[in-house]
Amino acid sequence: MPIKKMNREKESNNKGMTLIVKTITRLTVGLILLYGIYLVLHGHISPGGGFAGGVIIALSFIHLMLAFGKDFAFKKLSETKTHILESIGALLFLTIALLGLSGGYFFLNFLSRGEPFKLFSAGTIPLCNIAISIKVAAGLFAIFVALVLFKGLREE
């Protein structure tokens, strides 16, 4: 039984980096993802915004892929899912823009402005931030995956 377990550990170790990197990654990757989401949601109050937050979210998945190997990362976010999410982000942004037509013109800030410095304020700006962040995160992760898989194909 122990031999089998050792073999299995060896197999799983072969896919990523060393145990030290894996342990540190397990501790930090959630915090990185959380920081990205924080930057997105508070984009209209503090520095940050949809683009920077989206890149940080993509970096957290890239961190997973570098440390644990591509199979583990694809279990969390598969390649097909990234393509779907990227399209959803772009369509969401366009939908917000088209909803402005109900009040008169394209990209009208049709929601109430609310009180400044509160989380729920500034009308459609937080929604646009969220849409852009989904699009950026999925798009950059898809680009990275394409480059990594391309390299693997050539080695075979």
Partner 1 sequence: MEINLLLLFMIFAAIVAVEIEDLLSSVIAMGAVGLGLSLAFLILKAPDLAITQLVVEILCLIILIRATINKDLPLVKDGRWLFNTTATLTFVGLFLIFAYFALKDLPQFGAPIMRVAKDYIASGLEKTGAANLVASVVLDFRVYDTLGEATVLFTAAIGVLAVIRKVGRINANKKNE
Binding site for partner 1 (CB under 8 A): 39, 43-52, 55-56, 58-59, 62, 66, 86, 90, 93-94, 97, 107, 109, 113-117, 121-125, 128-129, 132, 135-136, 139-140, 142-144, 146-148, 150-151, 153-154
Rounded Cα gap, residues 90 and 84, in angstroms: 10
User: DSSP H helical segments within 69-123, as ranges?
Assistant: 70-76, 79-99
Tokens at 84, concatenated:
């779907």
**What is the smallest separation between the CB atom of 132 and partner 1, expressed in angstroms?**
6
**What is the smallest separation between the CB atom of 75 and partner 1, expressed in angstroms?**
20
Nearer of residues 10 and 154 to partner 1, judged by Cβ? 154
Distance set, CA 34 to CA 12, 41, 139 (Å) = 27, 11, 19
3-state secondary structure of 71: helix
Nearer of residues 3 and 63 to partner 1, judged by Cβ? 63
Number of helices followed by number of strands (H, E) in the chain: 6, 0
**What is the smallest separation between the CB atom of 70 and partner 1, expressed in angstroms?**
12
Nearer of residues 12 and 35 to partner 1, judged by Cβ? 35
Return the closest-CA partner of residue 24 out of 68, 56, 55.
68
**What is the smallest separation between the CB atom of 103 and partner 1, expressed in angstroms?**
14
